[in-house]
Structure 1
């Protein structure tokens, strides 16, 4: 989130993920809290398997955030042994919708290593004095080597053909990022909308397929202050 991301001290007032022995989170890699308004909870836009792949060193992640009284969230990136790699905070929108977490916008976030598994969390800070009240989404992330037969996400204009090729190669995050760009540049294109709904439906995310992309409007408003 441009101009709004900041690094945080991982030792003070930070999110602590639940132990492996804790009850499982709800569908979509999410938890619930009293600071969430409505029937839906925060949820990562991730495949049904829980892990998304990318060829990008600093990919963008997308998370559905319901209407909430929380104004900030903490993003946490851990290795497969649950050791902290980096943390950052970002503002939450005033309305329900899909937010973008761009790892390249924080100096605290290192480039992802090829072949490594990462566990990420986005925790809405419901009560800064008691972080046990956080409501969070989580998912797994792996960077994989780019194939010579695949389009490089950073070097081409997004297209539905590119989206299909990313999906065929199991590059979820690259496919989703391309689809988001297509939605932004072609908001009235029914073919793009249908593809978006198809991809989210196949991932079990039907309930948020019609959610708006709120990050652009919110960031512009905050930067204008």
Structure 2
């Protein structure tokens, strides 16, 4: 009988010890959860996945087949954006960058921006000669008039191979999210005048369009051209587009009256 009681006490002690450890572990886990949650909430929007939103940064060829392509079969129209993330901008007049491959002759390029409700809010037609990276700037009046700055915008860029057969367009598409910068990031930006450092801060916080635009503006004119070029390469490497790092930024011209002058024949599918 005494042996049974002794064993029972030992088992109870073991069980009590195990329960004590379990309680302590649970307490520590619960205590650490707010810190983990804060870390998750403060994670850069660079880590935001595309959330099912369509992103196609390389053209997939025209719907009419390769024979109708107006560029070499080994070349692509490419958007300089992350492939699987919705990148952000803090600007009311952001710039987007696209690689335009060499064409047989100067071509018209169409840029379209739609809001989350799929309503057209901006459209522009540009032309350029030669191959290289072109900048498409969205006028400040377009996004500044938005009531809600925390929203996504769907953009398309089409290289028009034949205006009479728009189904032959080469198209890339993606999304841009307009967001506010937090006070800590604003302070970091105000405390430096260095282009590369500013670009890195934007990049760390997921503001891809602002980081790329910051470097593009100083890519040629900067007094520290080599540092800017190195950062430009690093930025493109981070999204697996390093092959475009040496491509020049070429001038583009807006065609204000292109849309107004299109005939009905040009609108044929």
Aligning the two structures, in what range does the TM-score lie when normalised by the shorter sequence? 0.7 to 0.9
| Structure 1 residue 197 corresponds to structure 2 residue 233 | yes
TM-score by length of 1: 0.74
User: Structure 1 residues 131 and 30, CA, compared in 2 at 3 Å: closer, same or farther?
Assistant: same
Q: Which residue in 2 is equivalent to 1:51?
A: 86
TM-score by length of 2: 0.63
State the 1:76 CA deviation: 0.6
SS at match of 1:149: helix
Q: Contact between 2:55 and 2:175, CA under 8 Å: does it hold in 1?
A: no
CA distance in 2, matches of 1:163, 1:41: 27
State the 1:30 CA deviation: 2.5
| Structure 2 residue ranges without an equivalent (≥5) | 1-53, 63-68, 254-269
| Structure 1 residue ranges without an equivalent (≥5) | 1-23, 220-225
Deviations 1:142-181 (A, max 9, x none): 1001222334989x85611111111111110110011112
CA distance in 2, matches of 1:25, 1:102: 19
| Structure 1 residue 30 corresponds to structure 2 residue 66 | no
Which of structures 1 and 2 has the larger relative contact order (alpha carbons within 8 angstroms, sep 6+)? Answer: 1
State the 1:139 CA deviation: 1.3
User: Structure 1 residues 80 and 164, CA, compared in 2 at 3 Å: closer, same or farther?
Assistant: same
User: Structure 1 residues 48 and 187, CA, compared in 2 at 3 Å: closer, same or farther?
Assistant: farther
SS at match of 1:161: helix
CA distance in 2, matches of 1:110, 1:162: 23
| Number of equivalent positions | 189
CA distance in 2, matches of 1:184, 1:149: 30
Deviations 1:26-45 (A, max 9, x none): 6x343334111351211111
Write out aligned runs for 1:94-173 (5 A). Answer: 94-104=129-139, 109-111=142-144, 113-151=148-186, 159-173=195-209
Deviations 1:39-85 (A, max 9, x none): 12111111132422010112111111101235211111112343322
The structure with more helix, counted as a fraction of residues: 2
CA distance in 1, matches of 2:101, 2:223: 22
